[in-house]
């Protein structure tokens, strides 16, 4: 121990002596002593226990340990008794201290799990925000750039949004992007598919119900509006909503309140509404199938998602994105799509839009046994009159020729249009390859870029 430390301790002892001798108020004196010890020893906690004057007492203190580390102490003061079995008392208090220790460990475990869940929840929210960031939606066509601009304009507001477009165009993805780029991103995003639920259940799903409201309502249930409090409620296929529910939805939009099914309590809600439909709502209003006042409430800010056939420049970009995704999922190393297969993808009319394209690439990635997707591996719908305008019946010679042309085009693409190199890749001569190129009308210059 250094000389300075010894001097410091002696100085502290001198201060303790002065404190004890400066007053006859023992409570004030010992409080001053604790202050000195705190300052000089840097203690975390301290206590001085004094027996009452003329009262004989017994003091017992048991350490509370957690994984062999002392984390506290249990102490009691007994009136002194000559024949008291203090050893038995110590054993008893040791059991109590052990029980306290177990409770402490359990409380720590719960707090650790809560902290871990909070971290995981925050991580999931960050991942969702990144996943549904509208900048990550695939597409560089002018039509999609217009969609991005509209999402950026409306995301940071509380405005009701109506997303329109055919099935499979990605309306839910845009709804997610709006929510996760809004001030409500930390709150729930709740989805309801109005076409998937029977009319008898959708009211209960939206607004909840009270116990006994109908047969089977054995307990109170919170509806989707309540679950989305502070966040966003996404009503998909809203054009299929029944007239009775249209009235109730209109009230929520106007008054921001509703009652559960079978209830009388009025519930206030703070929810942003995003609706989506593939139905022509203007025609539905004219036909009396959709309320005009609800239509105007929903159509505050409208976003139109174009079908895939109207943004063909995005087809290859989407196909490559899905190919990378499903190659990774299936543990394969598929590097690219052959030129004939690209031509087939580009010529197809895609009635199922992006969803259909994703399904096609998922299936093709599954059956592909090499590093390149070939045209013959695509589904039959892309190889018939329905898909590409070709005849539905094909001879064996034509089928073999199509396969041979596919292989030659793929080799020329890899060889950057160099016939000699392509011939070596196909284990044939340049002369034979030249004959085949002429036979199938292949333009080698197309592959030199």
The string of pLDDT tens digits covering residues 344-369 is: 999 899 999 999 999 999 999 998 88
- Assigned fold of 55-128: Beta-Lactamase (3.30.450)
Q: What is the phi/psi pair of residue 137, to 5°?
A: -70, 130
Which of the four pLDDT bands, split at 50, 70 and 90, describes residue 122? low
pLDDT of res. 217: 78
pLDDT of res. 387: 41
> What is the mean predicted confidence (pLDDT) over 107-127?
72
pLDDT of res. 51: 64
> What is the mean predicted confidence (pLDDT) over 192-197?
87
Mean pLDDT of the chain: 84
pLDDT for residue 37 is more than 80: no
**144 or 22: which leads in pLDDT:** 144
**389 or 405: which leads in pLDDT:** 405
pLDDT of res. 389: 42
pLDDT of res. 27: 78
- Assigned fold of 132-306: Rossmann fold (3.40.50)
Sign of CA pseudo-dihedral 416, 420, 426, 430: positive
Architecture of the structural domain at 309-447: Orthogonal Bundle (1.10)
Question: pLDDT tens, 312-328?
Answer: 999 999 999 999 999 99
pLDDT for residue 121 is more than 70: no
Per-domain boundaries in the chain: 1-48, 55-128, 132-306, 309-447
Question: pLDDT tens, 226-242?
Answer: 999 999 999 999 999 98
> What is the mean predicted confidence (pLDDT) over 76-105?
80
pLDDT for residue 66 is more than 80: no
Tokens of 419: 């016939």
**397 or 443: which leads in pLDDT:** 443
pLDDT for residue 263 is more than 60: yes
């Amino acid at each position: 121990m250094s000389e300075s430390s010894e001097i410091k301790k002696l100085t502290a002892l001198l201060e303790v002596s002065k404190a004890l001798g400066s007053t006859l108020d023992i409570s004030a004196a010992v409080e001053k002593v604790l202050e000195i010890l705190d300052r000089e020893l840097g203690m975390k906690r301290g206590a001085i226990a004094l027996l009452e004057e003329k009262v004989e007492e017994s003091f017992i203190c048991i350490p509370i340990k957690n994984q062999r580390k002392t984390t506290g102490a249990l102490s009691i003061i007994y009136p002194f008794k000559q024949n008291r079995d203090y050893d038995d008392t110590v054993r008893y208090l040791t059991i109590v201290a052990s029980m306290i220790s177990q409770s402490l460990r359990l409380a720590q475990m719960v707090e650790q799990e809560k902290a871990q869940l909070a971290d995981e929840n925050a991580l999931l929210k960050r991942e969702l925000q990144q996943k549904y960031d509208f900048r990550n939606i695939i597409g560089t066509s002018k039509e999609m750039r217009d969609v991005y601009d509209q999402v950026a304009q409306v995301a940071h507001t509380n405005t009701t949004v109506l997303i329109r477009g055919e099935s499979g165009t990605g309306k839910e993805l845009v709804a997610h992007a709006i929510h996760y780029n809004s001030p409500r991103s930390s709150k729930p995003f709740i989805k309801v598919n109005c076409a998937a639920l029977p009319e008898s259940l959708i009211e209960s799903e939206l607004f909840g119900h009270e116990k006994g409201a109908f047969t089977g309502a054995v307990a109170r249930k919170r509806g989707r509006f309540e679950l989305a409090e502070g966040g966003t409620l996404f009503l998909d296929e809203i054009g299929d909503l029944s007239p009775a529910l249209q009235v109730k939805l209109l009230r929520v939009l106007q008054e921001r309140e509703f009652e559960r099914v079978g209830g009388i309590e009025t519930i206030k809600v703070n929810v942003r509404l995003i609706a989506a439909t593939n139905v022509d709502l203007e025609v539905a209003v004219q036909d009396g199938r959709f309320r005009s006042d609800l239509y105007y409430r929903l159509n505050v800010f409208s976003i139109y998602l174009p079908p895939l056939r109207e943004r063909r420049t995005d087809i290859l970009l989407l196909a490559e994105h899905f190919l990378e995704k499903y190659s990774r999922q299936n543990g394969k190393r598929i590097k690219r799509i052959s030129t004939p297969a690209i031509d087939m993808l580009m010529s197809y009319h895609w009635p199922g839009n992006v969803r259909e394209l994703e399904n096609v690439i998922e299936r093709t990635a599954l059956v592909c046994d090499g590093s390149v997707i070939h045209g013959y591996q695509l589904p039959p719908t892309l190889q018939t009159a329905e898909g590409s305008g070709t005849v539905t019946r094909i001879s064996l010679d034509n089928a073999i020729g199509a396969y041979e042309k596919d292989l030659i085009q793929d080799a020329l693409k890899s060889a950057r249009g160099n016939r000699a190199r392509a011939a070596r890749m196909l284990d044939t001569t340049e002369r034979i390859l030249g004959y085949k190129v002429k036979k199938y009308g292949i333009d080698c210059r197309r592959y030199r870029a």
